[in-house]
Amino acid sequence: MSDKTDITLIINGQSHAIRVESRRTLADAIREDCGQTGTHIGCEHGVCGACTVLVNGEPVRACLMFAQQADGKQIRTVEGLANGDEMHPMQRAFMENHGLQCGFCTPGFLMLAVGVLEREPDISDRDLVDVLSSNLCRCTGYQNIIKAVRAAAVEMRQS
Amino acid sequence: MTVHTKGSGTTWVGRSIRRLEDPALVTGRGRFTADMPATHWVRFVRSSVAAGTIENITAPERAGIVTAKDLAKLKPIRPMLSKFNYVAVGQPILADGVVRFTGESIAAVYAPSKDQAEDIADQVEVEISEGAPLIDAMDALAEGAPLVHADTKHNVIVEGRIATPGFEDVWKTAHKVLHVEARSHRQNATPMETRAGHAAYDGSTGRVTLTCTTQMPHLTRTAVCDILGIPESDLRVVAPDVGGGFGQKMSLAPEYVLLVWLARKLRSSVAWTEDRRENLIASFHSRDQHVQLEGAFDKSGKLLALRGDIVANIGAYSCFPTTCGVEPLMALAELPGPYDVRAYDCRSRGVMTNTCPMAPYRGVSRPVITFVLERLMDKAAAAFGIEPTELRRRNLIDKFPYTSATGLVFDDGSYKETMEMAIKAIDLDAFRKRQKIARDAGRYLGIGFATFSERTGYGSPAFAARGMEITPGFETVYLTIDPSGFVEARIGSSPHGQGLRTSLAQIIADEIGIDPEFIKVVHGDTDRSPYGWGTFASRSLVLSGGASLLAAQKIRAKLLKMASHFLEAAPEDITLQSGSAHVIGTDRSVTIASMARAAYHQTHIFKGEIEPGLTETGTYDPSGTFSNACHVAIVEVDIETGRVEMEKFLVVEDAGLIINPMIADGQVHGGVAQGIGNALLEEIIYDETGNILTSTLADFLPPTTHEIPEIELHHVETLTGNSITKAKGLGEGGAIGAPAAVISAINDALSPFGISIDEMPATPQRIRAALRSSGKLPSNGKLA
């Protein structure tokens, strides 16, 4: 398994030239080869969604994608959500609505919600709950995650 | 700017301020154990069989590998109880000749990367001569069953009995006797962050820093050092951001001991991140119990006596520090719940099997015993032909302090009030009408009530009653205003998602007149925080909150004395608010920051009347307090598929004074969601060979947004004298009541079939099996 390939991951606009084995997952490459540890790994089998990032605007589970598959694509992670010191409306909404407790699943939920709302700003409340069922949270009982995403959706539509 | 003054009605306590923890966590700047780089990565080679003898271990040439023979000088993990016929058994750090459960670590390999370590681990060959595994506790109890530990006489290693005098005489007077035989299947707490450890050796001092996902940093330090035989000063344990624990991370992971040993051997840094499969099969399990419960009632439906028999499957080893007594003994002491019953006879046993060790999980036994007791109450209500809530009304305790048949002292609570509020809020009468209309249309709606107590914030006396060699209890807080004027509270608790930094800052802010944003709460680092017990058992707000208040009161007194000197006014005429000391009714004031500076740099001005520095210590060790709540679930059961749809969940809870309502609500939400998962979905399933069939999150199913309905919350605040902040704990209550309410609602929905679902989780398969056995399934839309 020692054959390595040169690839470039463009994470939050910054290029990372890295050498990876073909089996390297995108999640491991983001965290270990590019040092962006805000993306978390919860199950490595595509169920929990903690590792959700945006690849060319689409939410994907970074544990189910090989790093090579993301070569040259635009990747967005939680580290890229805020604009300098100004937080993204989704980040603010999670804080204001207590949408997080331990914070481990939070980056995945933030990226999932941002990705979906950017694609579908007028998504119905019902469909939003459906989309949010993609990811697991063990602390919040989802009540305040749903509340936060709905609040952010309103703000994102207005801006 | 709003002025916040203690007692002015604009206190920080009681307000839903934003959490101080959040900015880092929403921006990806949280620091979790798995984020740290290391020189060596460890992978554990785990047993693929449940019972057997290790014949041979073969590793690839030049592989870095550790086996039990390398660890011969290490002591086993062997927690102790001095009561309840406890038999101490030892757990080796790596299996030493014998394997006792699937997933037990046999060897540890290390390599420069995770991938390489995994590759090497895959090439390690382990020959095991397989034995016959014991999986179910009932089999392990049987006469002549093989022994999980050869050095014990039988597989029962802890056994307690409480029998009140004259029990049989009371029993004989019963008008009706109801019986429940219940089964709670095995579950896994499943924090979203799996366990992880990182041990780094410092060549200059010879110390190791163990960063790990623990709820108990100090106990981890004590345990690891005892096992390795090294001074505690040679080990620093850090719990950085921890991604949920729910009890699973309070017990000592043998893996951490290995990491520290290996870091010392290699004089380097070594790390391990558990994968989800390891977490599901080999971390810790819970709630695997068989419970028999009988209740004797008089003519009026008053509960006279309870007789119980509890068998807890505690797995292959005894967890540190609580011991495996934690489930059976909790069940024994708390089985009577919030009901007034004077006669009690119960036996509770912890039985070893060839399964993953049991450890505390949110609620510890109380989700199980509440479910069983509430089944009994529902059955009794049906036998008396009254509403389940009416039967509870006749039995709930309402005079305080109340001393239970098991000797527990309940402080002021609102057991009846919360239930009455819940009945009103859910509109029980309207539901019964709706339920009837739905039934006539072939739809099965049900409502379930659970009333329960949640023992919280207990100090050392409560744990001492269990005879624990290690008796948790007190908490200490070091509170400092440093020369910069900022405040640091160093605490022994170790929160991991509970928002305790924010809640404690609110408590301290009110006392010393400094806003929470200037108060830093430091935890999870044995080099920085006082020796404490960590965060578990709904204790931290009561204990660390109490200790924070005590320390803050001392700082307040000192600040007032200093201000008196500066302002030439009597201390009682001075108030502390928004960072300054003010003489009431005047415009004379001095900032706390300038007084703090003087406390260190201008001490001569106090002429020896005030001691230098601004650090105070608070220690709190109370007897404990009981929160209480009433949970209500409304469900619809699809009788064709056995699927349960959660329509609504309602909670009326009383945890005393609420420090931060937003955080308190969040704790209840999360607990209820876990309880719903426990009730409907979550089950660790072993096959008969001891192999786990539920080793992914596609098989072991925590609930998603689909399964959790809207949770409506109401609060009652009964102020107790048992907590100096008046706050009670509430971290576990959600998980304690929800399973009982959900399963009660399912049974209510299915009452026309004359069946009783007395198993948890109530999966579609179990519901369908019960419906089929009723012989009343409709063939053409009507009940047979």
* Residue range B238-254: mean pLDDT, rounded: 98
Task: Say if residue B446 is in the same domain as residue B426.
Answer: yes
Closest residue in B to A136 (Cα) is: B704
Looking at residues B616-621, what average pLDDT do you find?
97
Residue B450 CB burial class (10 angstroms; 0-12, 13-18, ≥19): buried
Share the mean pLDDT of chain B: 96
One domain for residues B489 and B579: yes
User: Do A101 and A70 belong together in one domain?
Assistant: no
- What residues in A contact B710, CB-CB < 8 Å? 143
Q: Report the distance separating Cα B778 and Cα B65, nearest Å.
A: 62
Interface of A with B in 47-76 (CB under 8 A): 47-48, 50
- State the virtual CA torsion across A82, A85, A89, A95 in degrees, nearest 10: 110
Angstrom CA distances, B424 to B389, B651, B653, stand at: 12, 12, 14
Q: What average pLDDT does range A75-81 have in this prediction?
A: 98
CATH number at residue A37: 3.10.20.30
The pLDDT confidence band at residue B9, using thresholds 50, 70 and 90, is: low
Q: Looking at the structure, do residues A98 and A135 belong to the same domain, yes or no?
A: yes
Question: Final residue of a domain: which of B273, B293, B326?
Answer: B273
Question: What digits encode the pLDDT tens for the residues A103-155?
Answer: 999 999 999 999 999 999 999 999 999 999 999 999 999 999 999 999 999 99
pLDDT higher than 90, residue B369: yes
- The pLDDT, as a whole number, for residue A1 is 52
Closest CA to A11 of A81, A63, A65, A66: A81
pLDDT tens, residue by residue, B709-728: 999 999 999 999 999 999 99
pLDDT for residue B467: 85
Query: What is the domain range of residue A53?
Result: 4-77
Nearest residue in B to A89, CA atom = B26
Q: What range defines the domain where residue B403 resides?
A: 363-451+626-774
A68 and A101 assigned to the same domain: no
Total domain count for chain A? 2
Tell me the residue type at B254: P
Phi/psi for B459 (5° steps) reads -90, -165
The reply to whether A29 touches chain B by the CB within 8 Å rule is: no
- Say whether both B417 and B525 belong to one domain: no
What's residue B780's pLDDT?
A: 60
pLDDT at A98: 98
Give percent of chain B with pLDDT exceeding 70.
98
- Distance between CA atoms of B625 and B456, rounded to whole angstroms? 5
Among B273, B308, B324, residue at a domain's last position: B273
Average pLDDT over residues B88-111: 98
Query: Distance (Å) from the C-alpha of residue B271 to the closest C-alpha of chain A?
Result: 13
Q: Does residue B1 surpass a pLDDT of 50? A: no
For residues A51 and A27, membership in a common domain is answered with yes
Tens digit of pLDDT for each residue in A34-52?
A: 999 999 999 999 999 999 9
- Among candidate residues B270, B200, B268, B266, the one with its CA nearest the CA of residue B234: B200
B333 vs B348: CA distance, rounded Å: 10
Give me the CATH number covering residue A125. 1.10.150.120
Enumerate the β-bridge partners of residue A86. Answer: A83
Q: Which pLDDT belongs to residue B10?
A: 79
Q: Nearest CA to CA, how far is A72 from chain B (Å)?
A: 23
Judging contacts by C-beta atoms under 8 Å, the chain B residues touching residue A47 are 696-698
CA distance A91 to A113: 10
Count of domains for chain B: 3
Residue A83 forms part of a structural domain: no
User: Are A98 and A49 part of one and the same domain?
Assistant: no
Burial class (CB in 10 A: 0-12, 13-18, 19+), B187: buried
pTM equals 0.97
Whether residues B191 and A132 touch (CB distance < 8 A) is answered with no
- Flag if B696 and A47 touch (Cβ within 8 Å): yes
Q: Which amino acid is at B496?
A: H
B119 at interface of A, judged by CB pairs closer than 8 A? yes
Does one domain contain both B425 and B478? Answer: no
**B373 and B522 together in one domain:** no
- Domain edge (last residue) among B600, B620, B640: B620
Same domain? For A21 and A62 the reply is yes
Tally the C-alpha atoms within 13 A of residue B268's C-alpha that lie toward its C-beta.
Answer: 14
Q: Are B705 and A142 inside 8 Å of each other by CB?
A: yes
Stretch (H or E) spanning B273? strand B269-273
Q: What percent of chain B has pLDDT over 90?
A: 96
Residues of A in contact with B192 (CB under 8 A): 40, 42, 48, 50, 102, 104-105, 136-139
Contact A142 B708 (CB under 8 A): yes
CA distance B227 to B122: 29
A62 within some domain:
yes
**Does A82 fall in a domain?**
no
Domain check: are B548 and B694 in the same one?
Answer: no
Q: What is the pLDDT of residues B191-228, one digit of tens each?
A: 999 999 999 999 999 999 999 999 999 999 999 999 99
Residues B489 and B602 in one domain: yes
Q: Does residue B337 sit within a domain?
A: no
Site from A132, A139, A140, A150 to mutate, B interface, most B CB atoms within 10 angstroms: A139
Calculate the dihedral angle through the C-alpha atoms of B122, B128, B132, B133, rounding to the nearest 10 degrees. -40
Residues A71, A8 within the same domain: yes
CATH number, domain with residue B613: 3.30.365.10
The pLDDT value given to residue B778: 83
Chain A interface includes B22 (CB < 8 A): yes
pLDDT digits (tens, 9 = 90+) for B634-649: 999 999 999 999 999 9
Q: Is the pLDDT of residue B562 over 90?
A: yes
In a domain, A56, yes or no: yes
With beta carbons under 8 A apart, name residues in chain B contacting A130.
Answer: 705-706
Mean pLDDT over B25-54 rounds to 98
Q: Are residues B400 and B517 in the same domain?
A: no
Most A CBs within 10 A among B192, B198, B213, hence the mutation to make, goes to: B192
Q: What is the mean pLDDT of chain A?
A: 97
CA distance B784 to B774: 10
Q: Per the domain annotation, does B390 fall within a domain?
A: yes
Q: Is residue B407 left, alpha or beta, with left meaning phi > 0 and alpha meaning psi from -120 to 50?
A: left
For chain A, the C-alpha Rg in angstroms (whole number) is: 16
Q: Which residues on A lie below 8 Å from B651 (Cβ)?
A: none
Residues of chain A contacting B23 with CB distance shorter than 8 Å: 87, 95
DSSP result, B309-344: EEEEEEESS--TTT-TTHHHHHHHHHTTTTB---EE
**Is the domain of B66 the same as that of B48?**
yes
Mutate to test the interface with A, among B22, B26, B274, B279 (most CBs of A within 10 A): B26
Domain boundary among A12, A45, A77: A77
Decide if A55 is inside a domain.
Answer: yes
**Is A40 in contact with B32 (CB distance < 8 Å)?**
yes
Q: Is residue A65 part of a domain?
A: yes
Residue B641 in domain:
yes
Given this model, what pLDDT does residue B7 score? 43
B3 has a pLDDT exceeding 80: no
Could you tell me how many residues make up chain A?
Answer: 159
CA distance B18 to chain A (A): 6
Q: Are residues B406 and B545 both part of a single domain? A: no
Tell me: do B509 and B657 sit in the same domain: no
Residues A97, A153, single domain; the answer is yes
**In terms of domains, do B239 and B98 share one?**
yes
Q: Indicate whether A65 and A99 sit together in one domain.
A: no
Q: Which helix (H) or strand (E) holds A147?
A: helix A143-158
Average pLDDT over residues B288-306: 98
Whether B5 shows a pLDDT value over 80: the answer reads no
